[in-house]
């Protein structure tokens, strides 16, 4: 068997166009929308020889692959590497990188800890924190929103909700970046992210221990399931690790992207401010429009077929969620940011059994920021260039200088 980037190098399937492109090229990672248009135009799937994978950027195919966990598994890794053939850099996630029936057990525990009921109690605190930060930024006038708002806010309220005894904004953000870069090829970007592992990973693992968590946070609810014998103590620690892997960078990115959208289309900010009921839909549209998680993989676990294309067991399929969320077959005027759209069915939070288990808390966190913006901020203007940061799975802003004007 020929191996490439930790998975089996497949032959080109019949009727699939070959496209000599590198989806991990930094120019594409920073500004991927021409790449996505071409990816969708070429067909339901393309074959990318550089990595010997299939890629899809169309909504229907991405949805089919993402929702059919029996044919397209997560246990072989949601990045380029096939865990059946190569050992991953860290013990796999006990929720993201496993299949049923094991997944059902861990998912039940983590979903309970992150249930709407559990999150409701946190909303008031989120609002107080968001209001204070937005007031500070209004007083300052011009600021760098990624660090001063998106990171400052998320790395305060989220670790507190989980029950961390100690927080470290830099390590939490960089851990997320590391985990998401690890899903891509073993290139310079991945290597430089992984070089931080000796500093960050022991710190993260320490934070996940029961004795380092409060007795009333989300982490404690997860550990309580170990007392009941539902999961082991070790699995509880791994689930807390999942919160820290998946819950910080994604939300930071969501907040940065929301503000970028509102600064780019001020008339949409006006529409949102005029109707408080649009605060939530404005974030859903941000998710559809910017897709913080741009792509994840599945691995075919059987010989199968999608849209008439034969797919062999072991095929790695890159599903470009960000492209599917702009698919003209699915969305009218997909490249228009429209806060009134109500984009039900977008793939930014995934779909099916692995659909984001943290979506209730993510939405609650961002909603508090949106409320503060709608209540207090009259105008959001760019005060410098917005810079996007290349990452193998996340499309995040690196810098976003803006000026907030008072209402
Ligand atoms: C705007 C913020 C967020 C976005 C865009 C996002 C996106 C996603 C996506 C696309 C998936 C599906 C992965 C797949 O099917 O392979 C996912 C799963 C997951 N997310 Fe989120 N997420 C966000 C916030 C959060 C937060 C705040 C948490 C933790 C509290 C979290 C924890 C998880 C976990 C543990 C999974 C795996 C669930 C499973 O496999 O059953 N996410 N997320």
Mean pLDDT of 1-12: 96
Question: Is the beta carbon of 55 within 6 A of some atom in ligand 1?
Answer: no
Token pair for residue 35?
Answer: 């790449």
Token pair for residue 237?
Answer: 């620690």
Token pair for residue 268?
Answer: 């949409």
3-state secondary structure of 288: helix
Token pair for residue 299?
Answer: 């691995």
Which among 46, 81, 76, 75 has a CA at the least distance from the CA of 319? Answer: 46
- What pLDDT score does 1 carry? 86
Measuring from atom 42 of ligand 1, which residue has the nearest CA? Answer: 358
Report whether 260 contacts 290 (CB < 8 A). Answer: yes
Which among 199, 128, 209 has a CA at the least distance from the CA of 162? Answer: 209
Q: Give the CA angle between residues 339, 371, 131 to the nearest 5°.
A: 150
Q: Which atom number of ligand 1 is nearest to the Cα of residue 321?
A: 10
Report whether 57 contacts 347 (CB < 8 A). Answer: no
Question: Is the beta carbon of 130 within 6 A of some atom in ligand 1?
Answer: no
pTM greater than 0.85 (yes/no): yes
Cα of 188 vs its chain's centroid, Å:
22
3-state secondary structure of 387: strand
Q: What is the mean pLDDT of the chain?
A: 97
Query: In the 8-state DSSP scheme, what is residue 352?
Result: G
Query: In the 8-state DSSP scheme, what is residue 150?
Result: I
Q: Which atom number of ligand 1 is nearest to the Cα of residue 243?
A: 29
Residue 12 CA to ligand 1 center (angstroms) comes to: 32
CA 272 – CA 341 distance, rounded (Å): 12
Question: Is the beta carbon of 293 within 6 A of some atom in ligand 1?
Answer: yes
Residue 86 has pLDDT above 90, yes or no: yes
Question: Is the beta carbon of 225 within 6 A of some atom in ligand 1?
Answer: no
- What pLDDT score does 160 carry? 97
Token pair for residue 334?
Answer: 């997909």
Question: Is the beta carbon of 324 within 6 A of some atom in ligand 1?
Answer: no
Mean pLDDT of 56-61: 98
% residues pLDDT > 90 (the chain): 100
Residue 375 CA to ligand 1 center (angstroms) comes to: 29
Query: In the 8-state DSSP scheme, what is residue 247?
Result: S
CA 87 – CA 125 distance, rounded (Å): 41
pLDDT bracket for residue 36 (50, 70, 90): very high
3-state secondary structure of 145: helix
Q: Where in 53-95 does DSSP place strands (E)?
A: 53-56, 72-73
Question: Is the beta carbon of 350 within 6 A of some atom in ligand 1?
Answer: yes
Among 65, 217, 242, 250, say which to mutate for ligand 1: greatest number of ligand atoms within 8 Å of CB.
Answer: 250
CA 189 – CA 209 distance, rounded (Å): 30
- What pLDDT score does 298 carry? 98
CA 365 – CA 9 distance, rounded (Å): 41
Question: Is the beta carbon of 65 within 6 A of some atom in ligand 1?
Answer: no
Q: Is the peptide bond before 101 cis (omega within 30 degrees of 0)?
A: yes
Q: Which domains does the chain have, with CATH numbers?
A: 3-406 (1.10.630.10)
3-state secondary structure of 287: helix
Residue with tokens 């995934």: 350
Paired strand residues for 55: 46, 318
- What pLDDT score does 3 carry? 97
Residue 292, CA distances (Å) to 118, 212, 280, 289, 362 in order: 25, 30, 17, 9, 12
Paired strand residues for 18: 47
Q: For 293-330, write each residue's pLDDT tens digit.
A: 999 999 999 999 999 999 999 999 999 999 999 999 99
Element (H, E) at 391: none
Token pair for residue 264?
Answer: 């780019």
- What pLDDT score does 26 carry? 97
Q: Which atom number of ligand 1 is nearest to the Cα of residue 239?
A: 35
Q: For 238-266, write each residue's pLDDT tens digit.
A: 999 999 999 999 999 999 999 999 999 99
Measuring from atom 19 of ligand 1, which residue has the nearest CA? Answer: 356
Q: For 8-31, write each residue's pLDDT tens digit.
A: 999 999 999 999 999 999 999 999
- What pLDDT score does 290 carry? 98
The number of beta carbons lying within 10 Å of the beta carbon of residue 91 is: 11
- Dihedral (Cα; 242, 359, 185, 47), 10-degree rounding: 140
Q: For 338-386, write each residue's pLDDT tens digit.
A: 999 999 999 999 999 999 999 999 999 999 999 999 999 999 999 999 9
Using H for helix, E for strand and C for coil, what is the string for 351-377? CHHHCCCCHHHHHHHHHHHHHHHHHHE
3-state secondary structure of 312: coil
Residue 205 has pLDDT above 90, yes or no: yes
């Amino acid at each position: 068997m020929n191996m490439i980037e930790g998975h089996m190098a497949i032959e080109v399937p019949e009727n699939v166009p070959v496209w000599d492109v590198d989806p991990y090229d930094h120019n594409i990672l920073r500004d991927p929308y021409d790449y996505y248009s071409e990816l969708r135009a070429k067909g339901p799937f393309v074959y990318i020889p550089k990595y010997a994978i299939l890629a899809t950027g169309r909504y229907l195919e991405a949805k089919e692959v993402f929702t059919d966990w029996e044919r397209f598994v997560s246990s072989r890794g949601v990045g380029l590497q096939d865990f059946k053939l190569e050992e991953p850099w860290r013990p796999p996630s006990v929720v993201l990188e496993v299949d049923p029936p094991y997944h059902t057990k861990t998912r039940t525990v983590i979903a309970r800890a992150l249930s709407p009921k559990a999150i409701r109690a946190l909303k008031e605190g989120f609002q107080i924190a968001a209001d204070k930060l937005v007031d500070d930024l209004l007083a300052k006038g011009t600021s760098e929103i990624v660090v001063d708002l998106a990171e400052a806010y998320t790395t305060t309220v989220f670790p507190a909700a989980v029950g961390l005894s100690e927080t470290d904004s830099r390590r939490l953000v960089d851990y997320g970046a590391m985990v998401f870069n690890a899903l891509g090829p073993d290139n310079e970007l991945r290597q430089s992210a992984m070089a931080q592992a000796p500093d960050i990973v022991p710190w993260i693992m320490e934070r996940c221990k029961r004795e380092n968590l409060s007795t009333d946070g989300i982490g404690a609810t997860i550990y309580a399931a170990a007392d009941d014998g539902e999961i082991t103590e070790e699995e509880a620690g791994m689930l807390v690790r999942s919160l820290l892997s998946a819950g910080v960078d994604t939300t930071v990115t969501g907040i940065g992207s929301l503000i970028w959208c509102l600064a780019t289309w001020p008339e949409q900010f006006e529409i949102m401010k005029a109707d408080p009921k649009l605060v939530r839909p404005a974030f859903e549209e941000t998710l559809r429009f910017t897709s913080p998680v741009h792509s994840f993989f599945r691995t075919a676990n059987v010989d199968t077929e999608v849209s008439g294309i034969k797919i062999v067991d072991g095929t790695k399929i890159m599903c470009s969620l960000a492209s599917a969320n702009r698919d003209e077959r699915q969305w009218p005027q997909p490249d228009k940011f429209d806060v009134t759209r109500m984009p039900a069915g977008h793939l930014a939070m995934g779909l099916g059994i692995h659909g984001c288990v943290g979506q209730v808390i993510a939405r609650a966190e961002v909603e508090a920021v949106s409320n503060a913006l709608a209540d207090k901020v009259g105008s959001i203007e760019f005060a410098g260039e917005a810079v996007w940061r290349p990452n193998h799975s996340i499309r995040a802003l690196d810098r976003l200088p803006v000026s907030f004007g008072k209402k």
